[in-house]
A and B are shown apart, each in its own frame.
Chain A
């Protein structure tokens, strides 16, 4: 029986590139993205297999999401961003943004009309660059959290977003990104 093999080979041909791009968005690393695509296709060949309830792409993407989260956890274990006890209620490390009295050291500026902003390639390019400057794990948890639209709750649970650690990481990612955008986007206009 070679039929199943041919079938699975089709998944690579038909969906491999899509799965790769999906992983690339979230992991921001071509090699890690390749690895999770492979893990996904292999996992798809095991167990009860494709039940035909969703499209193969949707089903494969569902498996891929879990592989991406596994990958994220692995990264987190190998290179933890910081010791958990480093994080208190006051979100240390944010001192640069605020004055002693708790007010903004530098008030956030308007970035312009949101509708037209999102049409501008330059804005999106600078956003990419700013993301590259964030610590990798910070960028990843932020992406996993922000890119998903439908499955937010599940992702949050998987990443244990409710824990102090996770939301402080998200807070830091946001603070860092908006500061970077303000300097480089507003500065470039």
Chain B
């Protein structure tokens, strides 16, 4: 019989992948008999939902933007890359002949 310590390990793993049959059954049986671990399992699902919610909140928070200095730095890097791309286009044989 699974103890709570091992049941929580299996419960956590069951959030990653479908457990092999024997482990799945052992966990299910344990959860039927153990309120504490059933509560724990609920908490894992709640955590996942809450993290998802939190992520969506940040992703949609239009007040969160790149800082001015970061934007400038990135724009500069993009401009340099664009210039290099243009150079390469203008001299397509440059790399192979030199």
Contact = CB atoms under 8 A, between A and B. Distances in A.
Nearest to B6: A102
Interface centre among A5, A21, A161, A162 (most CB of B within 10 A): A21
| A contact residues, range | 35 or more
A53 interface: no
Given A102-B4, A174-B44, A147 B82 contact: no
B66 A34 contact: yes
A81 interface: no
A118 to B, nearest CB: 5
**Consensus secondary structure, chain A interface:** helix
Interface in A150-189: 156, 161-162, 167, 170-171, 174-175, 177-178, 181
Interface in A9-61: 9, 12, 16-18, 20-22, 24-26, 30, 34, 37-38, 41-42, 45-46
A128 interface: yes
**Consensus secondary structure, chain B interface:** helix
A107 B51 contact: no
B26 interface: no
Interface in B62-89: 62, 64-67, 70-71, 73-75, 77-79, 81-83, 85-86, 89
Interface of A: 1-2, 4-5, 8-9, 12, 16-18, 20-22, 24-26, 30, 34, 37-38, 41-42, 45-46, 91, 94, 97-98, 101-104, 107-111, 114, 117-118, 123-124, 127-128, 142-143, 145-147, 149, 156, 161-162, 167, 170-171, 174-175, 177-178, 181
